[in-house]
Amino acid sequence: MKRLLVTGSSGLIGSEVCVHFAQLGWEIHGVDNNQRAVFFGPQGDTRWNQNRLSQSLSKQFVHHEVDIRDRLGVLNLMEEVKPDAVVHTAAQPSHDRAAAIPFADFDTNAVGTVNMLEATRRACPETPFAHMSTNKVYGDRPNTIPLKELESRWDYDDPAYENGIAEDFPIDQSKHSLFGASKVAADIMVQEYGRYFGLPTCALRGGCLTGPNHSGVELHGFLSYLVKCNLEGREFKIFGYKGKQVRDNIHSRDVARFIHAFIENPRCGEVYNIGGGKRNTCSILEAFKIVEKYSGTEMISSYMETNRIGDHICYYSDLRKMREHYPNWDISVSLEETISQIVESWKKRQ
């Protein structure tokens, strides 16, 4: 039986990857110490998801309470498991939180990633290594693209970006936030272990990764948190850009499917912008309407003129490179279906 090691296994992408590969008959080794609850408080707790995996995957799932900042612990675990594939999703994921905890942010995102890479190189250098990076590695450079304001959203006003932002978009000379900077460091190290050491690695620069198993909070998890506010009758705060800022949303299942495709046919030091693409975009205002459609409840919101530091006005991923390298992969879950699933999931958790 093949073995998969997943960090951040109780999170959105990590748990989806666990389920996906378990269904294929793999033995799953999940690494998670519920650090999200430390970063975000009780509302960010992911133990419920860990318990769900333990119950639903049964003997196929082994949980490891290991902190990726613990270098020796990570090395020992990798030597013990010697996985056939590694999926690294563990991270401190918030712009705003990073500024308050810069050491914890960098140690988790940058140092933790190096710990994982080096442990893989020492224990199992032939093992494919997929890393969840972020579109925040581009900083606020996407905001320099000419934009046009439409009734409910912003969009690119440059034909060169008709399909979205591609992997060769510059990352320099921009404001990233401390979170974005720590993820840049991790992203570059993942590429370097591929190009320098020949490890089969990829950095997946995610757009808005979402799905029904997200523990969304105000500082991270846009759609999930928006749905939670709607169902609980709580106010959702819009930060700047008239609520017309645009994101591309990809269901966690489609992320897991792409990771599977990469593991089956890995490359060394690759980068992919993984998001919902143009078809799965929405602004905050447009998201309100879709959520209201499925929940039957009107959104309560307030508006602040000040935007979040480094926030994108409009961002959606150009998926052409992914489709070219892995032609059997494509988006399979629509935006409306994704939001419908998130609504039903939060209803069950209430």
- Mean of pLDDT values over 106-131: 98
15, 57 Cβ separation under 8 angstroms: no
Extract the tokens encoding 192. Answer: 């370097």
Which residues have a Cβ under 8 Å from the Cβ of 179 and sit 6 or more positions away?
A: 92, 93, 94, 95, 97, 98, 105, 109, 136
Say whether pLDDT at 115 is over 70. yes
Taking only the tens place, the pLDDT of each residue in 59-114 is 999 999 999 999 999 999 999 999 999 999 999 988 788 999 999 999 999 999 99
pLDDT value at position 262? Answer: 98
- Give the domains, in start order, of the chain with CATH numbers: 3-349 (3.40.50.720)
Question: Cα 200 to chain center, whole Å?
Answer: 20
Q: Which of 87, 39, 48, 346 is nearest to 220 (CA)?
A: 39
Say whether pLDDT at 348 is over 90. no
Which residues have a Cβ under 8 Å from the Cβ of 149 and sit 6 or more positions away?
A: 244
pLDDT value at position 3? Answer: 98
* Residue indicated by tokens 């890479």: 117
Long-range contacts of 99-106 (CB under 8 A, 24+ apart): 99/177, 99/178, 99/309, 101/39, 102/178, 104/39, 105/178, 105/179, 105/182, 106/178, 106/182, 106/185
